[in-house]
Amino acid sequence: MNRTVATTAAFAVAALLSAGVTPSTAAAPVQVFVAGDSTASTYVSSLAPRAGWGQALPVFLTSGAKVVNAALSGASSKSFVDLGRLDGIVSRLKPGDYLLISFGHNDEKKEDPARYTEPSTTYKSYLSQYIDRSRAKGAKPVLVTSVERRRFSSTGTITPTHGAYPAAMRELAAAKKVPLVDLTASSTALFNRAGVEGTKKYFLHLKAGQSPNYPNGVEDNTHFQGSGAIEVARLVATALRDQRVLSSGSFRRLNDQIPASAIVWPTSSQ
């Protein structure tokens, strides 16, 4: 290193230190929180290859963005708040962070008053809490409509299963000027391209003996195995890039073939 470069570097470090910022913290990654349900949540190794799209999202982000996946299996927009999960996220949010908000699967359950919300009223009201409280912390909320289920019509096309909830979220995003990832639409297109048989590799469809964690096999048309979680996470990440919600430098490998082994399954719940 020549004298001029060395002197410039020294002055830069001195400026950071005088401002109370160390070089190691100057480039701290932005946090991308995920508030959602079982389709997004992280699963432990004893449940692999089951995985959520929030668990797979880090595959597509660089070291400049860190995913904090707070999604909870069985949660609705209402129960997540009532359980204090939103409080926990808000307490950790910093200016410039992001909050991805994706609920709907369990908001639909009229038989369960602890989770049910009505699309045009209470659903929007609860979602508004996530938006308003994250903005109050200087963070940036992003609404994500529910990923579609694997339910095909007799003609071999995906049948919508989320009723009025995706439209309600779209309306709220427009009203409150919040970025929207229309995962309902993009996942429907993805599953239609893959078809009835092709989607089995995305969802948790395993034959008996195929996985030690599911010795009798499983046929789950709502939750994903690793490859499906990766493809749905790719949809989310691509939308965030295309809408310039995060900087283009936050993303990687969006056009690469990603093996399921790229996902991390923790040995215990966080």
| Greater model confidence, 11 or 86 | 86
CA–CA gap between residue 270 and residue 71 (Å, rounded): 11
CA–CA gap between residue 268 and residue 116 (Å, rounded): 29
pLDDT at 7 over 70: no
Judged by average pLDDT, the poorest of 7-11, 161-165, 169-173, 264-268 is 7-11
**For position 1, what pLDDT does the model report?**
42
| Segment 183-206, tens digit of pLDDT | 999 999 999 999 999 999 999 999
pLDDT at 21 over 80: no
Give the largest Cα separation in the chain, rounded: 74
Domain formed by 30-256, architecture: 3-Layer(aba) Sandwich (3.40)
CA–CA gap between residue 67 and residue 59 (Å, rounded): 10
Structure tokens at 27: 């480039």
Overall residue count recorded for the chain in this entry: 270
| Segment 110-125, tens digit of pLDDT | 999 999 999 999 999 9
pLDDT band of residue 12 (cuts 50, 70, 90) is: very low
pLDDT at 49 over 60: yes
pLDDT at 258 over 70: yes
Residue listed under structure tokens 């499983």: 218
Q: Which residues are catalytic?
A: 38, 219, 223
**For position 269, what pLDDT does the model report?**
82
CA triplet 76, 81, 86: central angle to 5 degrees? 115
| Bridge partner list, 204 | 220
3-state class of 69 per DSSP?
strand
* Average of per-residue pLDDT values in the chain: 92
**What are the residue ranges of helices labelled H in 68-182?**
77-82, 85-92, 124-136, 165-176
pLDDT band of residue 270 (cuts 50, 70, 90) is: low
Structure tokens at 84: 């204090």
Structure tokens at 2: 């020549």
Judge whether 66 and 29 are in contact, CB under 8 Å.
yes
| Segment 209-235, tens digit of pLDDT | 999 999 999 999 999 999 999 999 999
pLDDT at 3 over 90: no
Q: Output helix, strand, coil percentages for the chain, rounded to the nearest 5.
A: 45, 15, 40
| Bridge partner list, 34 | 69, 100
**For position 13, what pLDDT does the model report?**
40
CA–CA gap between residue 263 and residue 58 (Å, rounded): 8
Domain ranges of the chain: 30-256
pTM above 0.85, yes or no: yes
